[in-house]
Structure 1
Amino acid sequence: MKAFRLLSALVVAALLSTAIGTFAAPLSQWSPKADGVSALQEREGSPTNSMTYGSDESPKQAHFGRNSVVRGVNLGAWFVLESWQNPSLFLTQDIRSMQLNDEWSWMNAKGSKAQEDLVEHYRTFMNQSDFEAIQRAGLSTVRIPVPFWTFVPTVKPEPYLASRQRKALRDALIWSKQYGLDVVLDLHTVPGSVNGLDNGGRLGEQAFADDPNNAKRALNALSVMTDMFVNNASYGGVVKAIQVANEPKINERLSWSVLQNYQAAALKTIRAAIKPSATVVPTVLFSDAFQPWSKYDALLPSDAYPTSHIAVDHHQYFVRAWDSRVPKDDDELIDYVCAIGPRIAAAQKKRAVIVGEFSLGRETRCVDYHTCQGVKMSQDVSTLNSAENNNFMRRFFEAQAASYEKGGGWIMWSWKTESAAAWSYSAAREQGWIPDDVSDPAQWLYRPADESQRKALPDDLHHLRF
């Protein structure tokens, strides 16, 4: 089996290498038709519809994470289900007795009822008032995790509901334009999965490198996404970045070289799909795959990875169950967080670094979603609502934000959850753990680099505000 996996990975690497040449090859030498990855472009007669960058007709580069500090939130669990974040979907009467790990198992369990429930979820989970509230909170950006089946058909045995996310996604971009928010479109799942996690669609499956068609379908999804939302000028150029994969896990199932070949092919696929009608050329966002940022140094700058066109996405969590190095002591943890800032600042000089996910959670919540049945947000907050902890949570947020702003900025996970307050920006803001308006420096209670100048916390921070 291991030999088969190695052979399959080599096939994928060979396919992508054929498509893109070497990393140092000029972009002009690559054609999106070379490996048949872009059916959309074939239909539209590419490359005549694609652009020559640097010409007078070129739309401007987004330079996401370089022109201004990114302060944002993820809109998690809207288009990719996660049971811990919206357990009520997994606890309806018809499936309550089951143990469902992901969207794959949820779809199979729901059967004919799945489409009705999902379409209603897409319609109601986020609405215009959420986007207005995000803008009022002083945030600049929303990162929208979307699955590959939004853009390409499913193949058997994939049970997913294809393309029905599009209406709500269009609404999201319209509301983002209305409220002046930048958008990161994050291809959160890819065929076969790059991490084997529930957020990849199917827990336990990490088969992206096993079949060359997985890469072809992922690249085609990126091409369709680009044409649909970047080339349409009516969205006003709100899409400032496109992320090509979420949290790849480097191991025997997925090698670093296969991932890098895919990312280079993804960059070229996206750029080849952009037309003169595009208002902005989005930055292409690569996950660091929890690898040292220095791994990009050999590739940057180069024709394949122009530094002005890409940024690196890093996810930073402080959950001891995931990383035993995380300090238990509050003050030690704040010091630990602050020490990250100089490292990010140094990395930012070579390439933009965005902390695309973080939270205030030191513990997981609702991992077994059955334990959160009927639990309200106020009940979860009550377990964290002491003067000492409220003080710490405010320090914890400000320390993280200050460190991450030494790079390109930050995007917290997530805007809303059903009952996990430390993972919900809106709930944390209500509780006073986050400033009402993060864009207003006067609302920061202290700067973590100088604890001696920390302001006293207002009394109302110590009380439940739900």
Structure 2
Amino acid sequence: MARDSRRDHIRHEPRDRDRDRDQDRDRERDRQRRRRGHRATDSAGELLPRPSRTPRHSASESPTPRRVRGSDGTSGGSSNPLSLGSLAKLDAQNSKRGWRGYDYDSEYVKEVRQKEAKMERERVREEALERKRERERERERRRAYESDNAQYEHERVTVERREEEKKRRRHTDDEREERRRIYTESERAERRERRKARGEIPAHQKRRVISGPLLEEGGKDTVYGYTTEKEGGAGSDGYTDEEWARRKRKRICIIVGVIILILAIVIPVAVLMSKKNSDPVESKAAASAQTPSNSNLNGVSESSIPSSAQGTVLDPFTWYDTTDFNVTYTSATVGGLSIMGLNSTWDDSVQANSNVPALKDSFAYGTMPIRGMNVGGWLSIEPFITPSFFSGFSTHDGVIDEYTLTSKLGSTKAAQTIEKHYASFVTRQTFEDIRAAGFDHVRIPFSYWAVTTYQGDPYVPKISWRYLLRGIEYARQNGLRVNLDLHGAPGSQNGWNHSGRQGSIGWLNGTDGDLNAQRTLDIHNQLSAFFAQPRYKNVVTMYGLVNEPRMVALNTESVLNWTGSAIDLIRKNNITAVIVFGDGFMGLDNWQGKLQNYDNLLLDVHQYVIFNTEQIALKHSDKLTFACKGWTAQTLRSEDKSTGFGPTMCGEWSQADTDCTQYINNVGVGSRWEGTMNTGNASTSVLDPTCPTQNNPTCECTDANADPSKYSAVYKQWLLQFAEAQMESFEKGWGWFYWTWQTEAATQWSWKLGMAAGILPAKAYDRNFNCNNTIPDYGQLGLPENY
């Protein structure tokens, strides 16, 4: 053991001396590098490593370790360069394998030198740019200084002019006061002679036109076209009473005329500006739509409407749009809900497409996948779908949802504005286009004010009811089965803007929680009685209880008890449709054992990757993998009653990969993506960027919100595959409904816009990608992760 220690000492002693010399050389090189003014770094800001060493003898032997860069662009080892002493240690390690000495990797040295030269050029260019920016800043400072001086000079001149004007006015006032004195004839003659002597009045002057109130000359003088005698009948000012009265009337007429002219100009402008500021905001669809002809009212007499119904929602002459409505008056109701506008016949023989049966035949739910479409933002207004309703207001107006929108507009303007939206945003053509895109179901969200309103409600009452009925008939005409969705319940079931009112949850919660629970049951009592009619049996095949009750903020047992009561009530009214209830954001696995004793009941889950900070931070390839594996696994577990509830579908999803869309997180609230989502509540705000790059490169929304014509080919490929992967996953259950058909601008939320942009399939049932395909590495394909 002692001999071995001695040999180690002898072997390492010269190596220690070499290390000291190496350290001296390193220090000298550091001083030289400091004199150069910069160190070479790579694109990530790391110092470039020292050249690696490779063995001389054989390429097949293991080379000297050198720092490598991982496939993700990060450093594969320490960022500090190896000292010569450290290299000596590596040499010793390699010497055990028969290697003696080392030499530099010339290619690597060349690469380093090229990088250093490139960075030196960049440094010089950056310095030149900085000098240019500094010159520009100096010019800006000079312009600001000159502007300030010009403003000062302008103010100084203005003050001086005001002082001169004051002096002039004082002088004029003194002159006027002097003229007001009553002079004798001799005094007038004396003053006249003095003025002539000063040259103020030419000696030959006999007449003059006077603009002042007094006549100071003798004889006949013309005053504004009137000739007056100097003495006879004149007052002390040189005018007779009659002439003075005429002159006064003329002045009054001139002043009145000027005022009328000013008002004629100002009033129309003021009215126009007032109208611009106070007129109700219209959605883009309503603003661009043509006014309905309402030709079916031709030949109908207004006197045929009973006086008690005139001016009400039953009077077709008050309707903005009567297209495809039966305008023959009727006061008949079912379940207390009007049938006014409905035709007495219908046809259920229509087939949406060859993959599904006609309406008169049964749809094999559970084995035949639902491929459905939402018509969101129509009868329940959502800011991100129709931002034009909200962007015209300032933040001080506080218009953030349908409640505040209708409150701000007032009842009359709200009714006019919103009915135009009902009539134009979704039309017969909408349902025809949905059918042509390969869909077989449509989910129609509507809110409780289609049925009734309560004291204090600003919502437009009952008008959306007839548009809901017309929409169902349009669906029937295209062979589309309907999923009725009560999107807004009394009191708000989730406190989000699409429930009608953003803020607190008043449904089954708070002071009026029980009252609003009963009100919702009363509404379902009316709705279920109405839609139990034979005409709806084949078309309204799915009946929703309430959209997205936020059960994570409500008492679970209260919601379950209410749900049971609602199911019993609806079935009692002879509804045979599938009853749909929301998962309440509790997670699919937590529904095992709940409500499983009811038949024909369907669990509705809404799947998005952008409202979860962990999912939104996934890279594109990982989002695609999650859609194929994560959501597929969840669906399969939920479909199995031993691990989940049982029948499950996805009632809402989209292909958006960011939450950058305007107003998607409420009006005036930013995004998780950029870390600007300030809700005013620390528990819900997200103030750190959550895109996959962790803000390096910077997470930004400009490109995420770009026009789809600017999308790269690889981004379009990802969006299409992401959509098709979700369709496949959700079809492991009962199927899906896309959110939504139409938006004003948000392409990644609109099937209509996405299909036109080539990022959604032309037919919902005709797809190329499936989850058995290899998922591409979109990072290597060049798809950025920061937008």
SS at match of 2:548: coil
SS at match of 2:431: helix
How is 1:79-98 mapped onto 2 (pairs within 5 angstroms)?
79-91=379-391, 98=397
Letter in 2 for 1:298: G
Q: Is it true that 1:192 corresponds to 2:491 in the alignment? A: yes
CA contact (8 A) 2:335 2:527 kept: no
Q: Could you tell me how far 1:449 is from its partner in structure 2? A: 2.3
CA contact (8 A) 1:79 1:165 kept: yes
Residue equivalent to 1:260: 560
Distance in 1 separating the partners of 2:573 and 2:449 = 19
Residue equivalent to 1:289: 584
Distance in 2 separating the partners of 1:446 and 1:355 = 20
Residue equivalent to 2:373: 73
CA contact (8 A) 2:377 2:386 kept: yes
Distance in 2 separating the partners of 1:198 and 1:385 = 30
Larger CA deviation: 397-406 vs 67-76 = 67-76
Residue equivalent to 2:618: 328
Residue equivalent to 1:394: 720
Residue equivalent to 1:223: 525
Q: Could you tell me how far 1:371 is from its partner in structure 2? A: 11
Among 449, 462, 468, the residue aligned to 1:163? 462
Cα distance change on mapping 1:338 and 1:215 into 2, 3 Å: same
Letter in 2 for 1:451: T
Q: Is it true that 1:301 corresponds to 2:624 in the alignment? A: no
CA contact (8 A) 2:621 2:775 kept: no
CA contact (8 A) 2:431 2:474 kept: yes
Residue equivalent to 1:16: none
Cα deviation digits, residues 255-295 of structure 1 (max 9, x gap): 11111111111111111112xxx7xx211101001113343
Distance in 2 separating the partners of 1:411 and 1:99 = 32
Q: Could you tell me how far 1:380 is from its partner in structure 2? A: 4.2
Q: Could you tell me how far 1:423 is from its partner in structure 2? A: 0.4
Letter in 2 for 1:283: V
Percent sequence identity over aligned pairs: 27
SS at match of 1:66: coil
Distance in 1 separating the partners of 2:533 and 2:391 = 39
Among 399, 415, 435, the residue aligned to 2:741? 415
Cα distance change on mapping 1:410 and 1:384 into 2, 3 Å: farther
Residue equivalent to 1:435: 761
SS at match of 2:561: helix
Distance in 1 separating the partners of 2:709 and 2:742 = 18
Residue equivalent to 1:347: 638
Among 232, 238, 246, the residue aligned to 2:533? 232
SS at match of 1:345: helix
CA contact (8 A) 2:537 2:577 kept: no
Cα distance change on mapping 1:417 and 1:295 into 2, 3 Å: same
SS at match of 1:418: coil
SS at match of 2:558: helix
Q: Could you tell me how far 1:421 is from its partner in structure 2? A: 0.3
Residue equivalent to 2:504: 205
Residue equivalent to 2:473: 174
Letter in 2 for 1:221: I
SS at match of 1:389: helix
Cα distance change on mapping 1:170 and 1:119 into 2, 3 Å: same
Cα distance change on mapping 1:438 and 1:134 into 2, 3 Å: same
Larger CA deviation: 379-388 vs 160-169 = 379-388
CA contact (8 A) 1:62 1:241 kept: no
SS at match of 1:188: strand
- Matched positions, count: 376
Distance in 1 separating the partners of 2:746 and 2:380 = 17
Cα distance change on mapping 1:197 and 1:366 into 2, 3 Å: same
CA contact (8 A) 2:725 2:769 kept: no
CA contact (8 A) 1:74 1:411 kept: yes
Distance in 1 separating the partners of 2:747 and 2:382 = 16
Q: Is it true that 1:310 corresponds to 2:601 in the alignment? A: yes
Cα deviation digits, residues 204-236 of structure 1 (max 9, x gap): 0201123322111111212222222x2233345
Letter in 2 for 1:408: W
Residue equivalent to 2:236: none
CA contact (8 A) 1:83 1:101 kept: yes
Letter in 1 for 2:482: V
Q: Is it true that 1:357 corresponds to 2:652 in the alignment? A: yes
Cα distance change on mapping 1:369 and 1:250 into 2, 3 Å: closer
Cα distance change on mapping 1:160 and 1:166 into 2, 3 Å: same
Q: Could you tell me how far 1:170 is from its partner in structure 2? A: 1.0
Q: Could you tell me how far 1:40 is from its partner in structure 2? A: 4.5
Q: Could you tell me how far 1:63 is from its partner in structure 2? A: 7.4
SS at match of 1:161: coil
Larger CA deviation: 124-133 vs 153-162 = 153-162
Cα distance change on mapping 1:382 and 1:453 into 2, 3 Å: closer
Cα distance change on mapping 1:64 and 1:90 into 2, 3 Å: farther
CA contact (8 A) 2:649 2:735 kept: yes
Larger CA deviation: 208-217 vs 100-109 = 208-217
Q: Is it true that 1:147 corresponds to 2:425 in the alignment? A: no
Distance in 2 separating the partners of 1:388 and 1:452 = 13
Letter in 1 for 2:397: M
Distance in 2 separating the partners of 1:172 and 1:417 = 18
SS at match of 2:551: coil
Q: Could you tell me how far 1:322 is from its partner in structure 2? A: 3.6
Distance in 2 separating the partners of 1:227 and 1:62 = 22
Q: Could you tell me how far 1:62 is from its partner in structure 2? A: 7.1
Distance in 2 separating the partners of 1:206 and 1:270 = 24
CA contact (8 A) 1:191 1:218 kept: yes
Distance in 1 separating the partners of 2:441 and 2:746 = 22
Cα deviation digits, residues 353-397 of structure 1 (max 9, x gap): 11001111122311176899xxxxxx8433761111101001100
Cα distance change on mapping 1:236 and 1:85 into 2, 3 Å: same
SS at match of 1:270: helix
Letter in 2 for 1:167: R
SS at match of 2:753: helix
Residue equivalent to 1:449: 772
Larger Rg: 2
Cα deviation digits, residues 302-340 of structure 1 (max 9, x gap): 2xx22xx10000000011x54323443111111111111
Distance in 2 separating the partners of 1:449 and 1:248 = 35
| TM-score normalised per structure 2 | 0.45
Larger CA deviation: 445-454 vs 70-79 = 445-454
- Structure 1: give runs of 5+ residues left out of the alignment: 1-38, 42-59, 373-378, 455-466
Cα deviation digits, residues 100-148 of structure 1 (max 9, x gap): 1100000100013000111111111101111011011111111111101
CA contact (8 A) 1:40 1:220 kept: no
Cα deviation digits, residues 393-437 of structure 1 (max 9, x gap): 011001110101111111111000000000001111111211111
Distance in 2 separating the partners of 1:128 and 1:315 = 27
CA contact (8 A) 2:583 2:603 kept: yes
CA contact (8 A) 1:395 1:448 kept: no
Distance in 1 separating the partners of 2:361 and 2:563 = 19
CA contact (8 A) 1:284 1:311 kept: yes
Q: Which has the higher contact order (CA 8 A, sep 6+)?
A: 1
Cα distance change on mapping 1:78 and 1:290 into 2, 3 Å: same
Q: Could you tell me how far 1:187 is from its partner in structure 2? A: 0.6
Distance in 1 separating the partners of 2:557 and 2:547 = 16
Moved over 4 A (4+): 60-65, 94-97, 368-372
